[in-house]
Amino acid sequence: MRSASRSVRSLAGNPGPGRRFAAPFVAMRPSGVAIRARLKHLTDRDGMVLRAVGAHLGTLASRDLKARCADGPGHDSGRWAARKRGLTAESSSRWAGSITKATHDQWALARRNQLAYIRSLEAGIATVSHRLSLPVGQLGTKRAPGGYQSAEEWHAKSRRLASLQVRHAAVLADWQAGRVRIVRGGKRLAGTRHHLEEAGLTKEQWRAKWEAARWFLTADGESGKQFGNETIRITPDGQVSIKLPAPLGHLANAPHGRYVLAAPVTFAHRGTEWADRITGNRAVAYRIHHDPDRRRWYVTASWQRPPVTTIPLQAALAKGVVGVDTNNDHLAAWRLDIHGNPIGAPRRFFFDLSGSADHRDAQIRHAITRLLHWTKDCDVTAIAIEDLNFEQEKTREKHGRRKRFRQLISRFPTARLKARLVSMASSHGVAIVAVDPAYTSKWGAQHWQQPMTTPNRTITRHDAASIAIGRRALGHPIRRRTAPPPTHQSDEQGHWTVQATSGVPGREEPCPPVPGPRTRCAPPDHAANAGDQHAHHRSGRASEQEPTPAH
Protein backbone atom coordinates (compact mmCIF):
# COMPACT_ATOMS: atom_id res chain seq x y z
CA MET A 1 0.00 0.00 0.00
CA ARG A 2 2.84 2.40 0.79
CA SER A 3 4.54 1.90 -2.55
CA ALA A 4 1.21 2.38 -4.30
CA SER A 5 0.61 5.60 -2.37
CA ARG A 6 4.01 6.89 -3.44
CA SER A 7 3.15 6.23 -7.06
CA VAL A 8 -0.23 7.87 -6.62
CA ARG A 9 1.42 11.04 -5.33
CA SER A 10 3.86 11.13 -8.24
CA LEU A 11 0.97 10.77 -10.68
CA ALA A 12 -0.99 13.58 -9.11
CA GLY A 13 1.80 16.09 -9.15
CA ASN A 14 5.23 15.20 -10.50
CA PRO A 15 6.93 18.56 -10.92
CA GLY A 16 9.28 17.65 -13.70
CA PRO A 17 12.23 19.77 -14.69
CA GLY A 18 11.79 23.45 -14.05
CA ARG A 19 8.23 23.24 -12.77
CA ARG A 20 6.98 25.79 -10.28
CA PHE A 21 4.59 24.68 -7.58
CA ALA A 22 1.10 26.10 -7.70
CA ALA A 23 0.33 28.58 -4.95
CA PRO A 24 -2.09 27.40 -2.22
CA PHE A 25 -5.59 28.83 -2.34
CA VAL A 26 -8.74 28.77 -0.25
CA ALA A 27 -11.42 26.55 -1.81
CA MET A 28 -14.72 28.17 -2.69
CA ARG A 29 -17.62 27.42 -0.38
CA PRO A 30 -20.61 25.52 -1.77
CA SER A 31 -23.27 27.61 -3.47
CA GLY A 32 -26.19 25.28 -2.76
CA VAL A 33 -27.81 23.43 0.13
CA ALA A 34 -29.90 20.25 0.12
CA ILE A 35 -31.59 18.66 3.11
CA ARG A 36 -33.81 15.59 3.30
CA ALA A 37 -36.56 14.42 5.62
CA ARG A 38 -38.85 11.41 5.75
CA LEU A 39 -42.58 11.63 5.10
CA LYS A 40 -43.88 9.62 8.01
CA HIS A 41 -47.33 8.19 8.72
CA LEU A 42 -48.65 8.55 5.19
CA THR A 43 -52.07 7.05 4.59
CA ASP A 44 -52.83 4.60 1.80
CA ARG A 45 -54.59 7.37 -0.10
CA ASP A 46 -51.52 9.60 0.23
CA GLY A 47 -49.34 6.90 -1.27
CA MET A 48 -51.82 6.28 -4.08
CA VAL A 49 -51.93 9.98 -5.00
CA LEU A 50 -48.15 10.35 -4.94
CA ARG A 51 -47.76 7.31 -7.19
CA ALA A 52 -50.37 8.59 -9.64
CA VAL A 53 -48.82 12.05 -9.86
CA GLY A 54 -45.28 10.66 -10.17
CA ALA A 55 -46.22 8.19 -12.89
CA HIS A 56 -48.17 10.79 -14.90
CA LEU A 57 -45.41 13.39 -14.75
CA GLY A 58 -42.79 10.72 -15.40
CA THR A 59 -44.52 9.85 -18.66
CA LEU A 60 -44.46 13.49 -19.67
CA ALA A 61 -40.77 13.76 -18.72
CA SER A 62 -39.90 10.73 -20.88
CA ARG A 63 -41.77 12.20 -23.82
CA ASP A 64 -40.05 15.56 -23.39
CA LEU A 65 -36.61 13.95 -23.14
CA LYS A 66 -37.24 12.09 -26.40
CA ALA A 67 -38.19 15.34 -28.12
CA ARG A 68 -35.13 17.14 -26.74
CA CYS A 69 -32.76 14.40 -27.90
CA ALA A 70 -34.34 14.52 -31.36
CA ASP A 71 -33.65 18.27 -31.60
CA GLY A 72 -29.92 17.79 -30.92
CA PRO A 73 -27.60 20.82 -30.93
CA GLY A 74 -30.03 22.73 -33.15
CA HIS A 75 -32.40 23.31 -30.25
CA ASP A 76 -33.39 26.93 -29.60
CA SER A 77 -35.62 28.95 -27.29
CA GLY A 78 -38.55 28.73 -29.67
CA ARG A 79 -38.48 24.95 -29.62
CA TRP A 80 -38.21 25.02 -25.83
CA ALA A 81 -41.31 27.21 -25.57
CA ALA A 82 -43.22 24.89 -27.92
CA ARG A 83 -42.37 21.84 -25.81
CA LYS A 84 -43.39 23.65 -22.66
CA ARG A 85 -46.76 24.64 -24.15
CA GLY A 86 -47.39 21.04 -25.13
CA LEU A 87 -46.76 19.85 -21.56
CA THR A 88 -48.78 22.60 -19.90
CA ALA A 89 -52.09 21.27 -21.23
CA GLU A 90 -51.50 17.92 -19.50
CA SER A 91 -50.04 19.24 -16.24
CA SER A 92 -49.58 22.94 -15.42
CA SER A 93 -47.24 25.71 -16.48
CA ARG A 94 -45.04 25.27 -13.40
CA TRP A 95 -44.86 21.46 -13.74
CA ALA A 96 -44.00 21.94 -17.43
CA GLY A 97 -41.23 24.38 -16.55
CA SER A 98 -39.72 21.93 -14.06
CA ILE A 99 -39.87 19.06 -16.56
CA THR A 100 -38.24 20.99 -19.40
CA LYS A 101 -35.50 22.34 -17.15
CA ALA A 102 -34.70 18.85 -15.83
CA THR A 103 -34.62 17.59 -19.43
CA HIS A 104 -32.11 20.25 -20.47
CA ASP A 105 -29.87 19.51 -17.49
CA GLN A 106 -29.94 15.80 -18.26
CA TRP A 107 -29.12 16.33 -21.94
CA ALA A 108 -26.25 18.71 -21.10
CA LEU A 109 -24.81 16.19 -18.61
CA ALA A 110 -24.93 13.45 -21.25
CA ARG A 111 -23.04 15.69 -23.68
CA ARG A 112 -20.33 16.42 -21.13
CA ASN A 113 -19.94 12.73 -20.34
CA GLN A 114 -19.78 11.95 -24.05
CA LEU A 115 -16.96 14.45 -24.52
CA ALA A 116 -15.08 13.05 -21.52
CA TYR A 117 -15.38 9.56 -23.00
CA ILE A 118 -13.95 10.80 -26.31
CA ARG A 119 -10.98 12.34 -24.49
CA SER A 120 -10.41 9.09 -22.60
CA LEU A 121 -10.41 7.07 -25.81
CA GLU A 122 -7.99 9.50 -27.43
CA ALA A 123 -5.60 9.21 -24.49
CA GLY A 124 -5.74 5.41 -24.68
CA ILE A 125 -5.16 5.38 -28.44
CA ALA A 126 -2.15 7.69 -28.09
CA THR A 127 -0.60 5.54 -25.35
CA VAL A 128 -1.08 2.24 -27.15
CA SER A 129 0.17 3.68 -30.44
CA HIS A 130 3.30 4.98 -28.75
CA ARG A 131 4.08 1.65 -27.09
CA LEU A 132 3.43 -0.29 -30.29
CA SER A 133 5.90 1.94 -32.13
CA LEU A 134 8.74 0.92 -29.77
CA PRO A 135 10.73 -2.31 -30.05
CA VAL A 136 9.51 -5.23 -27.98
CA GLY A 137 11.13 -5.23 -24.55
CA GLN A 138 12.40 -1.64 -24.62
CA LEU A 139 12.38 -0.11 -21.17
CA GLY A 140 10.39 3.00 -20.40
CA THR A 141 11.28 6.14 -18.52
CA LYS A 142 9.63 8.20 -15.81
CA ARG A 143 8.06 10.37 -18.50
CA ALA A 144 6.88 7.76 -21.00
CA PRO A 145 6.15 4.01 -20.96
CA GLY A 146 8.34 1.60 -22.87
CA GLY A 147 7.56 -1.13 -25.35
CA TYR A 148 5.54 -4.24 -24.60
CA GLN A 149 7.29 -7.16 -22.96
CA SER A 150 6.56 -9.87 -25.50
CA ALA A 151 5.40 -10.39 -29.06
CA GLU A 152 2.16 -11.92 -27.79
CA GLU A 153 1.36 -8.83 -25.74
CA TRP A 154 2.26 -6.62 -28.70
CA HIS A 155 -0.19 -8.55 -30.90
CA ALA A 156 -2.98 -8.36 -28.28
CA LYS A 157 -2.47 -4.61 -27.87
CA SER A 158 -2.56 -4.06 -31.61
CA ARG A 159 -6.00 -5.66 -31.65
CA ARG A 160 -7.05 -3.50 -28.72
CA LEU A 161 -5.88 -0.41 -30.61
CA ALA A 162 -8.16 -1.33 -33.49
CA SER A 163 -11.05 -1.77 -31.05
CA LEU A 164 -10.40 1.63 -29.45
CA GLN A 165 -10.27 3.30 -32.84
CA VAL A 166 -13.62 1.79 -33.86
CA ARG A 167 -15.21 2.93 -30.60
CA HIS A 168 -13.71 6.39 -30.96
CA ALA A 169 -15.05 6.74 -34.49
CA ALA A 170 -18.56 5.72 -33.39
CA VAL A 171 -18.66 8.06 -30.40
CA LEU A 172 -17.18 10.91 -32.42
CA ALA A 173 -19.88 10.45 -35.06
CA ASP A 174 -22.55 10.63 -32.33
CA TRP A 175 -20.95 13.78 -30.95
CA GLN A 176 -20.85 15.50 -34.30
CA ALA A 177 -24.46 14.52 -35.04
CA GLY A 178 -25.64 15.61 -31.59
CA ARG A 179 -26.88 12.14 -30.58
CA VAL A 180 -26.89 11.19 -26.91
CA ARG A 181 -28.10 8.00 -25.24
CA ILE A 182 -29.96 8.53 -21.97
CA VAL A 183 -31.89 5.96 -19.92
CA ARG A 184 -34.45 7.44 -17.56
CA GLY A 185 -34.17 5.35 -14.44
CA GLY A 186 -30.51 4.50 -14.99
CA LYS A 187 -28.60 2.27 -17.38
CA ARG A 188 -27.41 0.01 -14.58
CA LEU A 189 -30.91 -0.64 -13.29
CA ALA A 190 -32.10 -1.31 -16.83
CA GLY A 191 -29.34 -3.90 -17.29
CA THR A 192 -30.22 -5.54 -13.98
CA ARG A 193 -33.49 -6.69 -15.56
CA HIS A 194 -31.53 -9.36 -17.43
CA HIS A 195 -29.58 -10.51 -14.34
CA LEU A 196 -32.22 -10.74 -11.62
CA GLU A 197 -30.71 -13.81 -9.96
CA GLU A 198 -27.30 -12.21 -9.61
CA ALA A 199 -28.90 -9.06 -8.18
CA GLY A 200 -31.11 -11.08 -5.81
CA LEU A 201 -34.33 -9.50 -7.09
CA THR A 202 -37.64 -10.81 -8.31
CA LYS A 203 -39.49 -9.36 -11.27
CA GLU A 204 -41.90 -7.55 -8.96
CA GLN A 205 -39.09 -6.04 -6.89
CA TRP A 206 -37.22 -4.90 -9.98
CA ARG A 207 -40.40 -3.42 -11.46
CA ALA A 208 -41.05 -1.44 -8.25
CA LYS A 209 -37.51 0.00 -8.31
CA TRP A 210 -37.73 0.78 -12.04
CA GLU A 211 -41.04 2.61 -11.77
CA ALA A 212 -39.93 4.59 -8.70
CA ALA A 213 -36.74 5.68 -10.50
CA ARG A 214 -38.74 6.98 -13.47
CA TRP A 215 -41.34 8.94 -11.50
CA PHE A 216 -41.10 12.73 -11.60
CA LEU A 217 -42.02 14.72 -8.49
CA THR A 218 -39.66 17.70 -8.66
CA ALA A 219 -40.78 21.34 -8.40
CA ASP A 220 -38.53 24.38 -8.85
CA GLY A 221 -38.83 27.21 -6.35
CA GLU A 222 -40.03 30.75 -7.04
CA SER A 223 -38.99 33.81 -5.09
CA GLY A 224 -41.87 36.03 -4.03
CA LYS A 225 -44.41 33.18 -4.00
CA GLN A 226 -45.98 31.89 -0.83
CA PHE A 227 -43.39 29.83 1.09
CA GLY A 228 -41.07 29.87 -1.93
CA ASN A 229 -42.86 27.26 -4.06
CA GLU A 230 -46.32 27.13 -5.61
CA THR A 231 -46.24 23.54 -6.90
CA ILE A 232 -45.01 21.63 -3.83
CA ARG A 233 -45.68 23.83 -0.83
CA ILE A 234 -44.47 23.14 2.71
CA THR A 235 -45.63 25.48 5.47
CA PRO A 236 -43.50 26.39 8.51
CA ASP A 237 -45.45 23.86 10.61
CA GLY A 238 -44.59 21.09 8.11
CA GLN A 239 -47.84 20.72 6.17
CA VAL A 240 -47.16 19.39 2.64
CA SER A 241 -49.50 20.18 -0.25
CA ILE A 242 -49.11 19.39 -3.96
CA LYS A 243 -50.65 21.13 -6.96
CA LEU A 244 -52.20 18.26 -8.92
CA PRO A 245 -51.84 18.06 -12.73
CA ALA A 246 -55.00 18.88 -14.67
CA PRO A 247 -55.94 15.25 -15.52
CA LEU A 248 -55.68 14.30 -11.81
CA GLY A 249 -57.65 17.22 -10.43
CA HIS A 250 -60.43 14.91 -9.23
CA LEU A 251 -58.07 13.59 -6.51
CA ALA A 252 -57.82 16.99 -4.79
CA ASN A 253 -58.83 17.29 -1.12
CA ALA A 254 -58.16 21.06 -0.82
CA PRO A 255 -59.18 24.18 -2.78
CA HIS A 256 -57.52 25.18 -6.07
CA GLY A 257 -56.77 21.61 -7.14
CA ARG A 258 -54.33 20.84 -4.34
CA TYR A 259 -53.80 17.69 -2.32
CA VAL A 260 -52.66 17.96 1.31
CA LEU A 261 -50.77 15.04 2.84
CA ALA A 262 -52.06 13.76 6.15
CA ALA A 263 -48.74 13.84 8.06
CA PRO A 264 -46.44 16.86 8.51
CA VAL A 265 -42.73 16.81 7.75
CA THR A 266 -39.86 18.07 9.94
CA PHE A 267 -36.38 19.03 8.73
CA ALA A 268 -34.00 18.28 11.57
CA HIS A 269 -30.85 19.30 9.69
CA ARG A 270 -30.66 23.03 8.84
CA GLY A 271 -34.29 23.37 9.82
CA THR A 272 -33.80 26.91 11.09
CA GLU A 273 -32.21 28.04 7.83
CA TRP A 274 -35.01 26.42 5.83
CA ALA A 275 -37.67 28.08 8.00
CA ASP A 276 -36.04 31.49 7.50
CA ARG A 277 -36.16 31.06 3.74
CA ILE A 278 -39.79 30.03 3.43
CA THR A 279 -40.87 32.68 5.93
CA GLY A 280 -39.27 35.29 3.69
CA ASN A 281 -40.88 33.70 0.60
CA ARG A 282 -37.50 32.90 -0.96
CA ALA A 283 -37.19 30.13 -3.55
CA VAL A 284 -36.93 26.55 -2.30
CA ALA A 285 -37.04 23.55 -4.65
CA TYR A 286 -38.53 20.24 -3.52
CA ARG A 287 -38.23 16.67 -4.72
CA ILE A 288 -40.35 13.79 -3.45
CA HIS A 289 -39.06 10.28 -4.09
CA HIS A 290 -39.82 6.73 -2.98
CA ASP A 291 -37.43 4.05 -1.69
CA PRO A 292 -38.95 0.66 -2.62
CA ASP A 293 -36.46 -1.31 -0.50
CA ARG A 294 -37.44 0.48 2.71
CA ARG A 295 -40.95 1.31 1.56
CA ARG A 296 -40.49 4.92 2.60
CA TRP A 297 -41.18 8.32 1.08
CA TYR A 298 -38.72 11.21 1.36
CA VAL A 299 -38.75 14.89 0.50
CA THR A 300 -35.59 16.85 -0.34
CA ALA A 301 -35.46 20.64 -0.04
CA SER A 302 -32.73 22.56 -1.85
CA TRP A 303 -31.87 26.20 -2.41
CA GLN A 304 -29.02 28.39 -3.57
CA ARG A 305 -26.90 30.60 -1.40
CA PRO A 306 -25.68 34.02 -2.48
CA PRO A 307 -22.02 34.05 -3.50
CA VAL A 308 -19.80 34.50 -0.46
CA THR A 309 -16.37 36.13 -0.68
CA THR A 310 -13.69 33.65 0.33
CA ILE A 311 -11.67 34.72 3.34
CA PRO A 312 -8.05 35.68 2.58
CA LEU A 313 -5.44 32.96 2.85
CA GLN A 314 -3.49 34.73 5.58
CA ALA A 315 -6.62 35.17 7.70
CA ALA A 316 -7.47 31.48 7.35
CA LEU A 317 -3.95 30.49 8.47
CA ALA A 318 -3.72 32.97 11.36
CA LYS A 319 -3.99 30.18 13.97
CA GLY A 320 -2.01 27.55 12.11
CA VAL A 321 -3.32 24.73 9.97
CA VAL A 322 -4.19 21.04 10.08
CA GLY A 323 -2.41 19.21 7.27
CA VAL A 324 -4.37 16.25 5.89
CA ASP A 325 -2.96 13.49 3.69
CA THR A 326 -5.68 11.63 1.77
CA ASN A 327 -5.25 7.87 1.46
CA ASN A 328 -7.19 4.86 0.28
CA ASP A 329 -8.42 3.89 3.75
CA HIS A 330 -7.76 6.79 6.11
CA LEU A 331 -7.01 10.48 6.53
CA ALA A 332 -3.66 11.27 8.16
CA ALA A 333 -3.74 14.64 9.95
CA TRP A 334 -1.27 16.70 11.97
CA ARG A 335 -1.64 20.14 13.50
CA LEU A 336 1.00 22.77 12.67
CA ASP A 337 1.56 26.20 14.17
CA ILE A 338 2.04 29.35 12.11
CA HIS A 339 5.80 28.65 11.85
CA GLY A 340 5.24 25.19 10.35
CA ASN A 341 6.17 23.21 13.47
CA PRO A 342 4.09 20.07 14.16
CA ILE A 343 2.24 20.19 17.47
CA GLY A 344 1.15 17.18 19.48
CA ALA A 345 0.68 13.76 17.99
CA PRO A 346 -0.65 12.81 14.55
CA ARG A 347 -4.23 11.66 14.12
CA ARG A 348 -5.68 9.11 11.72
CA PHE A 349 -9.33 8.92 10.70
CA PHE A 350 -10.12 5.58 9.07
CA PHE A 351 -12.92 4.73 6.65
CA ASP A 352 -13.95 1.66 4.65
CA LEU A 353 -14.71 2.10 0.95
CA SER A 354 -16.08 -1.40 0.38
CA GLY A 355 -19.77 -2.13 -0.08
CA SER A 356 -22.48 -0.03 -1.64
CA ALA A 357 -22.23 3.60 -2.69
CA ASP A 358 -24.37 4.71 0.26
CA HIS A 359 -22.06 2.89 2.66
CA ARG A 360 -18.96 4.47 1.11
CA ASP A 361 -20.52 7.92 1.25
CA ALA A 362 -21.46 7.43 4.90
CA GLN A 363 -17.93 6.30 5.76
CA ILE A 364 -16.46 9.43 4.17
CA ARG A 365 -18.94 11.65 6.04
CA HIS A 366 -18.07 10.04 9.39
CA ALA A 367 -14.34 10.44 8.81
CA ILE A 368 -14.75 14.10 7.83
CA THR A 369 -16.97 14.73 10.85
CA ARG A 370 -14.32 13.38 13.21
CA LEU A 371 -11.66 15.43 11.45
CA LEU A 372 -13.68 18.65 11.75
CA HIS A 373 -14.46 18.08 15.42
CA TRP A 374 -10.78 17.52 16.17
CA THR A 375 -9.86 20.64 14.18
CA LYS A 376 -12.30 22.74 16.20
CA ASP A 377 -10.92 21.29 19.44
CA CYS A 378 -7.44 22.41 18.32
CA ASP A 379 -8.77 25.97 17.79
CA VAL A 380 -7.63 25.94 14.15
CA THR A 381 -9.66 27.52 11.36
CA ALA A 382 -8.00 25.97 8.28
CA ILE A 383 -7.42 22.49 6.87
CA ALA A 384 -4.80 21.95 4.15
CA ILE A 385 -5.44 19.20 1.62
CA GLU A 386 -3.85 18.19 -1.68
CA ASP A 387 -5.50 19.33 -4.88
CA LEU A 388 -5.52 15.81 -6.35
CA ASN A 389 -6.93 14.92 -9.76
CA PHE A 390 -6.61 11.45 -11.29
CA GLU A 391 -9.03 11.84 -14.20
CA GLN A 392 -6.22 11.51 -16.75
CA GLU A 393 -4.59 8.60 -14.90
CA LYS A 394 -7.45 6.07 -14.79
CA THR A 395 -6.61 4.54 -18.14
CA ARG A 396 -5.98 0.87 -18.64
CA GLU A 397 -3.43 1.56 -21.34
CA LYS A 398 -1.21 3.86 -19.26
CA HIS A 399 -0.55 1.45 -16.39
CA GLY A 400 -0.74 -1.79 -18.33
CA ARG A 401 -0.68 -4.88 -16.14
CA ARG A 402 -0.83 -2.99 -12.85
CA LYS A 403 -4.43 -3.95 -12.24
CA ARG A 404 -4.28 -3.52 -8.47
CA PHE A 405 -2.78 -0.07 -8.86
CA ARG A 406 -5.47 0.95 -11.35
CA GLN A 407 -8.11 -0.20 -8.89
CA LEU A 408 -6.44 1.87 -6.17
CA ILE A 409 -6.55 5.01 -8.31
CA SER A 410 -10.15 4.41 -9.37
CA ARG A 411 -11.43 4.08 -5.81
CA PHE A 412 -9.35 6.96 -4.44
CA PRO A 413 -11.99 9.31 -2.96
CA THR A 414 -10.68 12.53 -4.46
CA ALA A 415 -13.64 14.39 -5.93
CA ARG A 416 -16.24 13.10 -3.48
CA LEU A 417 -14.09 13.67 -0.41
CA LYS A 418 -13.10 17.17 -1.51
CA ALA A 419 -16.72 18.13 -2.22
CA ARG A 420 -17.90 16.69 1.08
CA LEU A 421 -15.08 18.30 3.03
CA VAL A 422 -15.68 21.76 1.57
CA SER A 423 -19.42 21.52 2.17
CA MET A 424 -19.18 20.25 5.75
CA ALA A 425 -16.29 22.53 6.69
CA SER A 426 -18.20 25.64 5.68
CA SER A 427 -20.90 24.89 8.27
CA HIS A 428 -18.18 24.59 10.96
CA GLY A 429 -16.45 27.82 9.99
CA VAL A 430 -13.32 26.02 8.77
CA ALA A 431 -11.58 27.05 5.54
CA ILE A 432 -10.16 24.45 3.13
CA VAL A 433 -6.76 25.33 1.66
CA ALA A 434 -5.78 23.37 -1.47
CA VAL A 435 -2.06 22.92 -2.18
CA ASP A 436 0.03 21.48 -5.00
CA PRO A 437 0.45 17.71 -4.31
CA ALA A 438 3.87 17.40 -5.96
CA TYR A 439 6.44 15.52 -3.88
CA THR A 440 4.55 15.88 -0.59
CA SER A 441 4.89 12.18 0.29
CA LYS A 442 8.49 11.86 -0.91
CA TRP A 443 9.82 14.99 0.75
CA GLY A 444 7.69 14.52 3.84
CA ALA A 445 9.17 11.07 4.42
CA GLN A 446 12.67 12.30 3.62
CA HIS A 447 12.69 15.25 6.00
CA TRP A 448 10.08 14.49 8.70
CA GLN A 449 9.44 10.77 9.15
CA GLN A 450 12.65 9.84 10.94
CA PRO A 451 13.02 13.00 13.07
CA MET A 452 9.44 12.76 14.37
CA THR A 453 9.70 9.06 15.21
CA THR A 454 10.25 8.29 18.90
CA PRO A 455 10.67 5.03 20.82
CA ASN A 456 6.99 5.25 21.81
CA ARG A 457 5.60 6.58 18.53
CA THR A 458 6.03 5.29 14.99
CA ILE A 459 5.48 7.82 12.23
CA THR A 460 4.30 6.62 8.82
CA ARG A 461 4.93 8.21 5.44
CA HIS A 462 1.35 9.46 5.47
CA ASP A 463 1.86 11.27 8.78
CA ALA A 464 5.01 12.88 7.43
CA ALA A 465 3.18 13.85 4.24
CA SER A 466 0.54 15.68 6.32
CA ILE A 467 3.33 17.86 7.75
CA ALA A 468 4.61 18.59 4.25
CA ILE A 469 1.12 19.55 3.09
CA GLY A 470 0.60 21.86 6.05
CA ARG A 471 3.97 23.57 5.59
CA ARG A 472 3.28 24.13 1.89
CA ALA A 473 -0.07 25.72 2.77
CA LEU A 474 1.67 28.02 5.25
CA GLY A 475 4.22 29.07 2.63
CA HIS A 476 7.19 27.33 4.31
CA PRO A 477 9.58 24.97 2.51
CA ILE A 478 9.07 21.31 3.26
CA ARG A 479 12.71 20.74 4.18
CA ARG A 480 13.52 21.06 7.87
CA ARG A 481 16.85 22.74 7.22
CA THR A 482 18.74 24.26 4.31
CA ALA A 483 22.33 23.30 3.53
CA PRO A 484 24.84 26.16 3.99
CA PRO A 485 27.04 27.50 1.18
CA PRO A 486 30.00 25.27 0.25
CA THR A 487 32.52 27.65 1.80
CA HIS A 488 30.65 27.50 5.12
CA GLN A 489 30.58 23.72 5.32
CA SER A 490 34.18 23.59 6.55
CA ASP A 491 35.95 25.04 9.55
CA GLU A 492 36.35 28.42 7.84
CA GLN A 493 33.25 29.82 9.53
CA GLY A 494 32.12 26.84 11.54
CA HIS A 495 29.16 24.58 10.90
CA TRP A 496 26.19 26.72 9.87
CA THR A 497 22.66 25.43 9.42
CA VAL A 498 19.66 27.55 8.47
CA GLN A 499 17.33 26.32 11.19
CA ALA A 500 15.08 27.97 13.73
CA THR A 501 16.23 27.78 17.33
CA SER A 502 14.00 26.77 20.17
CA GLY A 503 13.94 30.27 21.63
CA VAL A 504 12.82 32.00 18.44
CA PRO A 505 10.53 29.63 16.52
CA GLY A 506 9.90 32.03 13.67
CA ARG A 507 13.51 32.96 12.91
CA GLU A 508 16.18 31.07 10.99
CA GLU A 509 19.77 31.67 11.94
CA PRO A 510 23.05 29.80 12.52
CA CYS A 511 23.06 27.31 15.38
CA PRO A 512 24.94 28.25 18.59
CA PRO A 513 28.39 26.67 18.93
CA VAL A 514 28.69 23.49 20.98
CA PRO A 515 31.70 21.67 22.42
CA GLY A 516 33.24 18.88 20.40
CA PRO A 517 33.16 18.37 16.65
CA ARG A 518 31.13 21.01 14.86
CA THR A 519 28.76 18.60 13.17
CA ARG A 520 25.62 18.89 15.28
CA CYS A 521 23.31 21.58 16.58
CA ALA A 522 22.94 22.56 20.19
CA PRO A 523 20.41 20.69 22.35
CA PRO A 524 17.27 22.55 23.47
CA ASP A 525 18.74 23.32 26.93
CA HIS A 526 21.98 24.70 25.57
CA ALA A 527 21.01 28.35 26.10
CA ALA A 528 21.31 28.05 29.91
CA ASN A 529 25.02 27.27 29.87
CA ALA A 530 25.97 28.62 26.45
CA GLY A 531 28.59 30.94 27.93
CA ASP A 532 30.59 28.23 29.73
CA GLN A 533 30.40 25.87 26.80
CA HIS A 534 31.42 28.63 24.41
CA ALA A 535 34.49 29.52 26.49
CA HIS A 536 35.50 25.85 26.83
CA HIS A 537 35.06 25.37 23.12
CA ARG A 538 37.32 28.32 22.26
CA SER A 539 40.06 27.25 24.68
CA GLY A 540 40.03 23.68 23.41
CA ARG A 541 40.61 24.79 19.82
CA ALA A 542 42.69 27.95 20.31
CA SER A 543 45.45 26.68 18.05
CA GLU A 544 43.10 26.70 15.06
CA GLN A 545 42.54 30.47 15.37
CA GLU A 546 38.95 30.02 14.17
CA PRO A 547 36.59 33.00 14.53
CA THR A 548 33.36 32.41 16.35
CA PRO A 549 30.23 32.69 14.16
CA ALA A 550 28.15 35.77 14.75
CA HIS A 551 24.61 35.18 16.07
Residues 199 and 317 in one domain: no
User: Would you say residue 466 lies in a domain?
Assistant: yes
Give the residue from 254, 272, 304 where a domain finishes.
304
* pLDDT band per the 50, 70, 90 thresholds, residue 484: low
Confidence of residue 112 (pLDDT cuts 50, 70, 90): very high
Domain that holds residue 503: 498-539
Total number of domains constituting the chain: 3
HSE (side-chain half, CA atoms, 13 Å) at 119: 10
Q: What is the DSSP letter of 510?
A: P
Q: Are residues 142 and 264 in the same domain?
A: yes
pLDDT tens profile 71-96: 988 888 899 999 999 999 999 999 99
Determine the Cα–Cα distance for residues 293 and 201; give it in Å rounded to an integer: 11
Q: 508 phi and psi, to 5 degrees?
A: -110, 130
> Is residue 482 in a domain?
no
Q: Return d(Cα 544, Cα 535) in angstroms, integer.
A: 15
**pLDDT per position as a tens digit, 131-180:** 999 999 888 887 778 888 899 999 999 999 999 999 999 999 999 999 99
Residue 356 is assigned to a structural domain of this protein: yes
* Same domain for 516 and 443: no
Helix, strand, or coil here: 201?
Answer: coil
User: Domain check: are 284 and 342 in the same one?
Assistant: no
Last residue of some domain: 304, 329, 357?
Answer: 304
Please check whether residues 152 and 171 belong to one and the same domain: yes
Residue 515's pLDDT band, with cuts at 50, 70 and 90, is low
Question: Does 180 lie in the same domain as 72?
Answer: yes
What predicted TM-score, i.e. pTM, was given to this entire model? 0.73
Answer yes or no: is 40 within a domain. Answer: yes
Residues 6+ apart with CB under 8 A from 16: 143
Contacts of 1 (CB under 8 A, 6+ apart): 328, 329
445 and 395 within one domain? yes
Residues 200 and 320 in one domain: no
- Cβ atoms of residues 177 and 71 within 8 Å: no
Give SS3 for 75. coil
Residue 491 lies in a domain: no
* 3-class DSSP assignment, residue 155: helix
Query: 144 lies in a domain?
Result: yes
On whether residue 547 sits in a domain, the answer given is: no
Rounded CA separation 466/475 (Å): 14
Same structural domain, 294 and 321 = no
Judged by DSSP in three states, 37 sits in strand
Report the b/e string of 445-469 with b at 16+ CB within 10 A.
bbbbbeebeeeeeebbbbbbbbbbb
Domain boundary among 286, 304, 322: 304
Same domain, 413 and 503: no
Mean pLDDT computed over 445-456? 90
Residue 483 domain flag? no
- Any residues with CB less than 8 A from the CB of 428 and at least 6 apart, and which? 372, 375, 376
